[in-house]
Structure 1
Amino acid sequence: MAEAHQAVAFQFTVTPDGIDLQLSHEALKQICLSGLHSWKKKFIRFKNGIITGVFPASPSSWFIVVVGVMSSMYTKVDPSLGMIARISRALDNTGYMSTQTKDVVSCFLFGTGLWVALIFTMRYSLRVLLSYHGWLFEEHGKMSRSTKIWMAMVRIFSGRKPMLYSFQTSLPRLPVPAVKDTVNRYLESVKPLMKEEEFKRMTVLAQDFAVTLGPRLQWYLKLKSWWATNYVSDWWEEYIYLRGRGPLMVNSNYYAMELLYVTPTPIQAARAGNTIHSIMLYRRKLDREEIQPTRLASTIPLCSAQWERLFNTCRIPGEETDTIQHLKDSRHIVVYHRGRFFKVWLYHNGRLLKPRELEQQIQWILDHPSEPQPGEAKLAALTAGDRIPWAKCRKTYFARGKNKQSLDAVEKAAFFVTLDETEQGYRTEDPEASLDSYAKSLLHGQCYDRWFDKSLTYIVFKNGKIGMNAEHSWADAPIVAHLWEYIMATDWFQLGYEEDGHCKGSTNPSLPCPTRLQWDIPEACQEVIQASLNTATLLADNVDMNSFPFHTFGKGLIKKCRTSPDAFIQLALQLAHYKDMGKFCLTYEASMTRLFREGRTETVRSCTSESCKFVLAMVDPTQTAEQKLRLFKAACEKHQHMYRLAMTGAGIDRHLFCLYVVSKYLAVESPFLKEVLSEPWRLSTSQTPQQQVELFDFSKYPNYVSGGGGFGPVADDGYGVSYILIGEHFIHFHISSKFSSPETDSHRFGKHLREAMGDIIALFGLTENSRK
């Protein structure tokens, strides 16, 4: 096979005249270029480490400080208050330096010490400044003088041209709330959801916990918060994600849709070529830390730690707990098509493959006539089923030989690519069914054509539409959304396509062909694969998905109501759920805690006493519009206050979760914590953020709107709802539930949600035309 020969660096034969050594110059050239590439990356990391390490100062500032101190020698001004003289006297003991040399060395040492002291002073000052969160609680659109001064100081101490990880050491640590505060906020959140007797019982449990066991558990948590960078994140990753033994597919992984109404090319290989190249351009920017750190109000930095494991990452199954395997670099991807796995190198002659070259490689795979090897076609179903069978199977059948080599190729790839044989995307003749099918395909596919353990599974459909399925343990959705925005913008506005739909550029006949991965899967292993597929298929077939665009109005009209768009939609979800179920339920809304180092998420309990009063007023015909508006504004203010508390480390659920973990380590039972942690989230919601608005001009390209992303239902009898607000006039919703529940129906909930959105906007006397 041609690809086998490409892997041979040299050959030798033994002859009567000795050993005949035949070197492959091309192979040696590639080895040399690979080494140069590796050293180049090491140098870039070293340079970035220095720049980040001295931030908010810069390496050039060291030269300025040292030269300034040395210049003082000739002006007879001592900026050191005698320190330089003391250093010089200490150097006298060596006896090897002249007076002038001692003066120069003394100034050099003092200048360097002064520079380091200034760095730590600026960094500590910035951390103190970033510990202030009062700006978040000010009325929207109004900023006090003190906040303006505070923001100006943050800008001064933030340095110039920060890199992705520049602010990491300046971010404050996540604070541990007081136990009584958390307990009181918890009781307030469940009061509208419990009957009076049940609430009294819970109040007794909570108050007893707050004065007996709570302070003891809190002491250990405080100790951890002083020692660890973040007292929540490592336990959250381990116990919520990695120790879960159920399927990742549907239960944990989430998906991302591309632009709904436009497709740049119907050629599958061309779309794959452009977008894979775009992904690699983003990875190069990430490796060089050239991605700008996210900053609220263009000033307050958010933690960037989650970017570290975006690529070259895979979740490895274990019998008790999984682990995350992350490599510093990977020079290949693995592509799945029609039951076969191919390894594709991303570099040739020391450079990244161009879009047309990648299209060439992908087209080669599409045209390859080979059939799957026994057990190969549905192998990835192992990653879709329960974790314990996969862990045992991996240890038994994939620990050696060609199976280990091929599995290593998959798990150590930069990311996984699926060339899907179906056609997906928005169809004008059947918009509802087409988007539902698109969402379900991205969420679970055929259950064996995505590698659900990989941090990213990139999907290219037969008609040129694309999508992403992401594993959840390593990071949260905003990180993938940031990458996804870059891919779509680069694909459309920078790379582009030829008139015939192919990638720009020309093919390269010297490229080595992709390598077919080889497997030797025994029948016993195939039985495990089939069992995992059966489990996954039951789970996938049970997902009731409703994905739909909401065109009636967007956040532009909502802003005219002088309220937060997120609060508006959350109240619409409460109203829709009440219309759908006739009752209220515990509601989860994800909020971020990335104002703190290594922060991830916190829960906003969106169902409050204020929101319940508003919903009841909306379904009561005796209530006037003025009364409903008053209750709406009170509910919005409450929601925004809860969201701000969650963002600033004063949430409820992560604190209680960590107290529960401590109780398990101490082997003590807490009826209160046990009951709190077992409460189901029957309405789980999340907003997909739009972060790089400068990449898209919606006034010029109004149809270039993305569908955002979604996830599976959290509770068996509940809903999972995701939404994205694009531009000023567009919102897209994703609703998931389970067919097995007689209480839920995703399409029925979608109908109620549309009605609720319209009912609320009507309170303000605004219509779709009002936005114009």
Structure 2
Amino acid sequence: MRDLPRLPIPPLKTTLARYVETVTPLLSKDELEETKKRVAKFLQYDGPMLDLQLMQLQRQSKTSWLEGFWDSMYLEWRDSVAIHMNPCFALQDDPTPERNGQVTRAASLVSATVWFIDSLRSQTFAPDRERGERLCMHQYSVLFGSTRIPQFARDRLVTQHNSRHIAVVSRDQYYWFNVYDEDGKPFEIEELERYLRFILNDARQTEEKSDSPLPPLGMLTTAPRDSWAQSYQNLLKDPRNREYMDKLTSALFLVCLDEHMPSNLEETGKILLHADGRNRWFDKSIQLIVCKNGKAGINMEHTAFDGHTTLRFAEDMFNYSVRMRCDSPSSWSAFDQTETTNPTPPLVNKLNFTITQDIRSDIDKATVEFNKLASACNTSILHFVTYSKSFLVKYKLSPDAFIQMAFQLTYYRLMGTVGSTYESAMTKKYYHGRTECMRSLVNEAMTFLKVFTDPSSTALDQIQALRVACTAHANKVRLAKNGDGVDRHLYGLFNLAKQQQKRLPGYRIPEIFEDVAYARMRYDVMSTSNCGGYALSSFGFGPVVPDGFGLGYILKDKCMHFHITNYEKEKTVRFQALLERSLMEMGELIKSGIPVRATLNDGSKKAKL
């Protein structure tokens, strides 16, 4: 993959022109004029010098000029990674109900994941492509065996590329076992089921025999990073704990055997995104979560990889797990019965961490703080079937752009104003490519909102405005995927300016980065991402600002699925209801020519568009 092109740097003048265009909907007339002055000043003075430094970095970098800045953005994050950073996938149920018992399902997913890892290691894995173009495969090399290690100021990421074992947690008790025999052959699924069942029984019996509740050590991974770093240092003062932590850190992935039994997608989404923080290790790159009733999914610490990479894994894993069981029905018919006798399998090892009173106090504190965060994070699920991806394709509209316009209409109806919107655009066509930001609140989207809120507008007016906005959005997505976006270029220049400030006493950060426009652009009241396929029933993440929405969505041929998060219950519920209304009305407009009358939901004063 080294022959792939490197992430480009757009011409500075072009980026700045696009920046002004991007922030225009967010600013008053006076603010916009001030921003234009600061942009012109930057283009004349600091900008060219910083851009030359960025080009030099591009020439010197072995991977991507963005990679160092990107890693720092993630690893220097000091708040909890749970909810704030880690997204989740909910897997579809196994199509055969009898295979959805906890042990059966867990063993299937473990076996399928090991198969996936083997295909990576043996290089029999078909490379990713998009519209015929090869995509960078680097992220797969750090998908497994990776763990985020807490440290003061900046965490570090470690990867054990030759790992042969997995970790399992049940009732807050951690275990590990190899998934390969001495000859390097993966264990049969019956062996995996036996080990997993042993762990479930051992954890239950240990909990029942304990005089006091067992300390949920994994709660520490929900704490702010510097607090967790201090606890981590204290924990590793015990040599045995250090040995146990090495096993947990170097595991290929973590399997979480939960006692939860979610009855709907909303409950499942909450459990996979955060639950109560127990029975997890949020620093692990991949956590396979399997509930007592077989509902399953993935929580990921994705410092080193993005949703597209995990999606390929999820779909291949799901497909293999179903096909494997179909090929060998005898392997599941009698399993998932809890055994009364439970001889210790020789390859299962328990991680009996020594928990001091100080560590217990840290766990208690982390539990209290995370309970506040988890309780405040509301989740709402919208499963929309009236119109779908195939319907939009039939009417020659970009499904993704249509959804983004529905988000804009919904937010305006709810809040009476507009706000900065982030949509992730993949840049894996470049070597070590990650993502670029597509700003969905384009000027054409503002025109779309004006027309849709004009009582005198006709259906033809609205259809035209919608089509123009969707076309503009799709074009900007293409620019972002080609590395011609705004955010990453400016982010690189901003980081170079901060480095300059540290080296040169008296150097001032350019005014463009201290302007209200730059702050508003980066304050994402809607953080959105389209990531899904046949294997997923939901995809979600937390809001990125205190008053914002996290909007994960999946577009399928026969339905659309939305995972909505916000820190206010009423706003979450109302956003879902208004989104459903927007989708319905926009679909009716396209199908039947019925104009939309986009009144506000609460009668509050509208912002001038």
Q: Which residue does 1:293 correspond to in 2?
A: 127
1:213 corresponds to 2:46 = yes
Q: How far apart are residue 510 of structure 1 and its match?
A: 9.9
Gaps of 5+ in 1: 1-167, 428-433, 691-695, 697-704, 768-772
Q: How far apart are residue 761 of structure 1 and its match?
A: 1.6
Q: Is the 8 A contact 2:4 2:136 kept in 1?
A: yes
The structure-2 alpha-carbon separation of the partners of 1:382 and 1:373, relative to structure 1 and needing over 3 Å to count, comes to farther
Alignment of 1:173-572 (within 5 A): 173-228=6-61, 229-238=63-72, 240-259=73-92, 262=95, 263-297=97-131, 299-350=132-183, 351-368=185-202, 369-371=205-207, 377-424=215-262, 427=263, 434-496=264-326, 497-498=329-330, 500=333, 502=335, 511-572=345-406
1:738 corresponds to 2:567 = yes
Q: How far apart are residue 446 of structure 1 and its match?
A: 1.9
Partner SS state of residue 553, structure 1: coil
Q: Is the 8 A contact 1:348 1:511 kept in 2?
A: no
Whole-Å separation in 1 of the counterparts to 2:590 and 2:30: 38
**Amino acid across the alignment from 2:86:** N
Q: Bigger CA drift: 347-356 or 305-314?
A: 347-356
Q: Bigger CA drift: 488-497 or 205-214?
A: 488-497
Q: How far apart are residue 509 of structure 1 and its match?
A: 8.6
Whole-Å separation in 1 of the counterparts to 2:564 and 2:94: 20
Q: Deviations over 1:252-295 (max 9, x none)?
A: 00100011695552421111111100010000001112211111
Whole-Å separation in 2 of the counterparts to 1:654 and 1:669: 17
The structure-2 alpha-carbon separation of the partners of 1:377 and 1:396, relative to structure 1 and needing over 3 Å to count, comes to closer
1:753 corresponds to 2:579 = yes
Q: Which residue does 2:470 correspond to in 1?
A: 636
Q: How far apart are residue 716 of structure 1 and its match?
A: 0.7
**Amino acid across the alignment from 1:370:** T
Partner SS state of residue 708, structure 1: strand
Whole-Å separation in 2 of the counterparts to 1:553 and 1:355: 41
**Amino acid across the alignment from 2:576:** G
**Amino acid across the alignment from 2:127:** P
Q: Percent identity?
A: 30
Partner SS state of residue 169, structure 1: coil
Which contiguous aligned blocks of 4+ residues in structure 1 show a shift greater than 6 angstroms? 372-375
Q: Which residue does 2:505 correspond to in 1?
A: none
Q: Which residue does 2:601 correspond to in 1?
A: none
Q: Is the 8 A contact 2:141 2:161 kept in 1?
A: no
Q: Is the 8 A contact 1:270 1:356 kept in 2?
A: no
Alignment of 1:71-86 (within 5 A): none
Partner SS state of residue 480, structure 2: helix
Whole-Å separation in 2 of the counterparts to 1:729 and 1:267: 28
Q: How far apart are residue 410 of structure 1 and its match?
A: 0.9
Q: Which residue does 1:706 correspond to in 2?
A: 536
Whole-Å separation in 2 of the counterparts to 1:258 and 1:602: 26
The structure-2 alpha-carbon separation of the partners of 1:643 and 1:396, relative to structure 1 and needing over 3 Å to count, comes to same
Q: How far apart are residue 397 of structure 1 and its match?
A: 2.4
Partner SS state of residue 617, structure 1: helix
Whole-Å separation in 1 of the counterparts to 2:75 and 2:344: 43
The structure-2 alpha-carbon separation of the partners of 1:200 and 1:185, relative to structure 1 and needing over 3 Å to count, comes to same
Q: How far apart are residue 349 of structure 1 and its match?
A: 4.3
Partner SS state of residue 628, structure 1: helix
Q: 2:485 aligns with which of 609, 633, 651?
A: 651
Whole-Å separation in 2 of the counterparts to 1:374 and 1:218: 60
Whole-Å separation in 2 of the counterparts to 1:204 and 1:501: 73
Q: Deviations over 1:80-117 (max 9, x none)?
A: xxxxxxxxxxxxxxxxxxxxxxxxxxxxxxxxxxxxxx
Whole-Å separation in 1 of the counterparts to 2:296 and 2:356: 34
Q: How far apart are residue 529 of structure 1 and its match?
A: 1.5
Q: Is the 8 A contact 1:418 1:458 kept in 2?
A: yes
Q: How far apart are residue 317 of structure 1 and its match?
A: 0.7
Q: Which residue does 1:681 correspond to in 2?
A: 524
Whole-Å separation in 2 of the counterparts to 1:319 and 1:264: 48
**Amino acid across the alignment from 1:710:** G
Q: Is the 8 A contact 2:215 2:363 kept in 1?
A: no
How many residues are paired up? 571
Q: How far apart are residue 360 of structure 1 and its match?
A: 0.7
Q: How far apart are residue 395 of structure 1 and its match?
A: 1.5
The structure-2 alpha-carbon separation of the partners of 1:342 and 1:183, relative to structure 1 and needing over 3 Å to count, comes to same
**Amino acid across the alignment from 1:446:** D
Q: Which has the higher Rg, Structure 1 or Structure 2? A: 1
Q: Which residue does 2:599 correspond to in 1?
A: none
What is the CA RMSD across the aligned residues, in angstroms?
2.2
Partner SS state of residue 358, structure 2: helix
Q: How far apart are residue 616 of structure 1 and its match?
A: 2.2
Q: Which has the higher contact order (CA 8 A, sep 6+)?
A: 2
Q: Is the 8 A contact 2:172 2:218 kept in 1?
A: no
Partner SS state of residue 589, structure 1: strand
Gaps of 5+ in 2: 337-341, 502-507, 594-609
Q: Is the 8 A contact 1:270 1:501 kept in 2?
A: no
Partner SS state of residue 498, structure 2: helix
Whole-Å separation in 2 of the counterparts to 1:295 and 1:517: 41
Partner SS state of residue 320, structure 2: helix
Whole-Å separation in 2 of the counterparts to 1:558 and 1:721: 20
**Amino acid across the alignment from 1:748:** R
Q: How far apart are residue 593 of structure 1 and its match?
A: 1.0
Q: Deviations over 1:739-772 (max 9, x none)?
A: 28xxx611211111111111112122259xxxxx
Q: Deviations over 1:459-497 (max 9, x none)?
A: 110011111100020110111111111121112123244
Partner SS state of residue 732, structure 1: strand
Whole-Å separation in 1 of the counterparts to 2:186 and 2:138: 26
Whole-Å separation in 1 of the counterparts to 2:246 and 2:518: 37
Q: How far apart are residue 511 of structure 1 and its match?
A: 4.8
Partner SS state of residue 362, structure 1: helix
Whole-Å separation in 1 of the counterparts to 2:90 and 2:518: 32
Q: How far apart are residue 613 of structure 1 and its match?
A: 1.2
1:671 corresponds to 2:497 = no
Q: Deviations over 1:627-686 (max 9, x none)?
A: 111111111111011111111111000011110100011003122113355331101100
**Amino acid across the alignment from 2:512:** F
Whole-Å separation in 2 of the counterparts to 1:328 and 1:477: 21
Q: Deviations over 1:575-602 (max 9, x none)?
A: 1111111111111000011111111000
Q: Is the 8 A contact 1:435 1:548 kept in 2?
A: no
Per the normalisation by structure 2, the TM-score is 0.90
